Amino acid sequence: MKDNLDVECENVHSFIQDTLYVVNGKWKLVILSILVNKGTRRFGELSRESGISPRILSRELHELEMNQLISRRVCNTKPVTVEYSSTEYAETLKEVIGAMIRWGQNHRKKIKGQ
């Protein structure tokens, strides 16, 4: 399907695709924006705050954890609670998250004005 003739040209595109591979889907950046900008959250809090159903949230959190963007901490409460926090590495995504928030704001303004 894709040949290797254009290796140099494709570098920029593949950087974008690398990023998309990590933060793909409807929810990962939403989850990260909560944890990065607002701080630690429990599973149920995240679910309510974002509107993500438990099954999806569980999967997304696993994937984010695998990419070292969030950390999971089990608390010795009864019943057990779990805290999710963004890692230092997630801080490097602030530029991306911020850019998307700003663009979304501006875009909504534009759409409303039409």
Which residue ranges make up the site for DNA (CB under 7 A)?
A: 1, 24-27, 42-45, 47, 52-56, 58-59, 61-62, 72, 79-82
Residue 79 preceded by cis peptide, ω within 30: yes
Nearer to its own copies, 72 or 103 (CB): 103
CB of 111 to DNA, least distance (A): 19
Under DSSP, is residue 10 helix (H, G, I), strand (E, B) or coil?
helix
DSSP string, 36-80: HHH--EEHHHHHHHHT--HHHHHHHHHHHHHTTSEEEEEE--SS-
Nearer to its own copies, 82 or 97 (CB): 97
Tell me how far apart the alpha carbons of residues 111 and 74 are, in angstroms, rounded to a whole number.
43
Which positions lie near its own copies, rule CB under 8 A?
Answer: 1-2, 6, 9-10, 12-20, 22, 24, 26, 29-30, 33-34, 37-38, 48-51, 53, 89, 92-93, 95-108, 110
